[in-house]
Structure 1
Amino acid sequence: MSTRLRNALSAALIALSCLLVPFGALAAWVTYGLADTGRYVTAMAPLAADPAVQGAVVDTVGAGIVHEVAPWLDHEIGARDEYGAVRPFVYDAVRSFTRTEAFRTAWEAGNRAVHDAVLSALQDGRQGAVTVDLAPVAAQVKRQLTEEHVPFAHHIPVEHTAVPVLPAHELNRLRKGYHVLEVAGFWLPVSAAVLAATGIAVAACRRRAITATALGTALGGAFLLLAVVLGRRLTLADLPEAAHRPAAGAVYDALTQTLRTVSWLLIALGLTAALVCRLTELLARRRRASAAPAADPAPGPTRARV
């Protein structure tokens, strides 16, 4: 095989390998990161102390409890006017609850329940919307309101109501994407490594091939980091309620922390490998130059003897 053909084949294989790097990292992150319940719960656990997340929980849970109490006040005792009086107490109680250890426990349990429900729906092929039960949280708030002698607190209903998490019409699309990523999460990184090794092996100058692979890997990491940043902006822009965007941003950052770390590692390792290859090349040139024998000086004109 000619040198030109070897270099062309090597360049094509290395370029394809570097193109697969960000996609392989993304697929592996979904398969081995998001799809793992333990890692998911660990990533979400610190958010229990995040003010934006606590505020979103207060709004959601407080509104749900007040919504359940209002019909009872209206139809059972005709005290609809008490609705406005009960609302601040409910929200204050929920806000206080978010600062307790019990909330952190409920937060982890709720995230585990949501993750298990979504993952089971993606894996077992069930139909219909994915739902979870938030009755334990409502029961804790009711208990706290009762202890604080808030009016009508003991009448707050604690029912096992199915709270929708994932609509049914999105489940089939997500299931297909999940199965594709489940396969790609293993084979894309393996394919990228095999293509890079093959491209380096067939190259006429392997040091240059390694340098190109390292720079391509760093570039792939940069593209992956850019995709994470753009994904955050698009995700927050699509939210219908702007008030919940800080909480959604905190959740997005927590879930993509590993992906951002992988992106920076790819950039750092790629640039480091390229720099090492460049330094070894310069060192090899210097050694060859110092090992070359010095050229003999040109002989001068011979003076004739008299």
Structure 2
Amino acid sequence: MTPRTRRLRDVLSAALTAAACLLLPFGVLAAWAVHGIADTGRYVTTMAPLASDPAVRGLVADTVGAGIVHRLADDRDLPPSAAPFVHSAVRSFTTTEAFRAVWDAGNRASHEAVLKALREPRDGPVTVDLAPITERVRHELADENVPLAGSIPVRHTRVAVLEPEELRGLRDGLRTLEVAGVWLPVSAGVLAVAGIAVAVRRRRAVTATALGTAVGGAVLGVALLVGRAALLADLPPGVSRPAAAAVYDALTAPLRHVAWALVALGLLVAATTWLTRRRATARQASPRTAPAALPSPDPAVDPTEPSQAQA
């Protein structure tokens, strides 16, 4: 192999490895968006632990309590002293198992409505009917002997989740993610294998690919931290920062685990490859001791004849 060919192969291997490591974080993000966020079952499972988060429970209690007080005030003359009692009752309800079931039902209903709107071409906002959830809340509060629970009106109130202008952009984004979530990880893997196969020194190429994988995982972890800080900094007034942080952390928990796994796997493979390379180099550099040669018999002497000393 000529020096020019070796140089060209090294340059091509480095380019393929760099491209694979650059695609890796984007591929992980796309796969997470498609298989984690865009899947209703996984989304509900991811959001389920938030029903036990104090910040989320407080936000839900304040929102639901205000809605119940408003509806009761519209239907009857509600004394001012009843509002704190209703808020306290709802806040107590958020600590029960029934609230966790209502929380899962609400997340499932809203997620299914958004996915249906994104995958079916239609105009108009995405709405969710809160009547089934309100009915369940009223039933659970009545079982807990909460006063005025039976008077909570159950109306088919549709709450807008997404507006039409937001829906169009998200529909295009979902289609792009569904393609990228499959092809970006596959492309990263193919480029990495090709970079190792083209390399002249393949053990060194494996080490570079492993280190690039670790760097990609670290970049993904840093991006999650930056995104969290940016999200909390741009929250509109009145939105609970602890609740928003809890939701963000719950949604991105799989990404954080993958980022740490990439860092650990990359460093482990790089260290293993480096150690095997050092061992192979030391083995080649060590002097080989050849076995001692036996003295060859003198061809001029016939071993069958007696020696002069014997004579």
* TM-score normalised over the length of structure 1: 0.88
What residue is the counterpart of 1:15 in the other structure?
18
Alignment of 1:156-167 (within 5 A): 156-167=152-163
Given candidates 33, 41, 46, the residue that maps to 1:38 is 41
Given candidates 74, 83, 86, the residue that maps to 1:71 is 74
Secondary structure of 1:2's counterpart equals helix
Decide whether the 8 Å contact of 1:93 with 1:145 is kept in 2: no
Alignment of 1:1-306 (within 5 A): 2-73=5-76, 79=77, 82=79, 84-143=80-139, 144=141, 148=145, 150=147, 154-241=150-237, 244-292=240-288
RMSD (Å) for aligned C-alpha atoms: 1.9
Shift of 1:35: 1.2
Shift of 1:65: 1.5
Shift of 1:142: 3.7
Q: Which ranges of 4 or more aligned residues in structure 1 deviate by more than 6 Å?
A: none
For 1:186 and 1:218, the matched residues in 2 are separated by 21
For 2:10 and 2:217, the matched residues in 1 are separated by 24
Aligned in 2, Cα 1:213/1:242: closer, same or farther, shift over 3 Å? farther
For 2:197 and 2:29, the matched residues in 1 are separated by 27
The one-letter amino acid of 1:61's match is V
Decide whether the 8 Å contact of 1:65 with 1:138 is kept in 2: no
The one-letter amino acid of 1:58's match is A
Aligned in 2, Cα 1:189/1:106: closer, same or farther, shift over 3 Å? same
- Return 5+ residue gaps in structure 2 as ranges: 291-311
**Percent identity among equivalent residues?**
60
Aligned in 2, Cα 1:118/1:178: closer, same or farther, shift over 3 Å? same
Shift of 1:119: 1.1
Shift of 1:37: 1.2
Shift of 1:154: 4.3
For 1:209 and 1:192, the matched residues in 2 are separated by 15
- Return 5+ residue gaps in structure 1 as ranges: 74-78, 295-306
Secondary structure of 1:125's counterpart equals coil
* TM-score normalised over the length of structure 2: 0.86
Secondary structure of 2:240's counterpart equals helix
Shift of 1:122: 1.2
Of residues 93-102 and 238-247 in structure 1, the stretch that sits farther from structure 2 once superposed is: 238-247
Aligned in 2, Cα 1:147/1:285: closer, same or farther, shift over 3 Å? closer
Aligned residue pairs total 286
For 2:85 and 2:226, the matched residues in 1 are separated by 40
For 1:149 and 1:212, the matched residues in 2 are separated by 64
Shift of 1:293: 5.7
Q: Which has the larger radius of gyration?
A: 2
The one-letter amino acid of 2:201's match is C
Give the number of the structure whose residues are more often helix, by fraction: 1
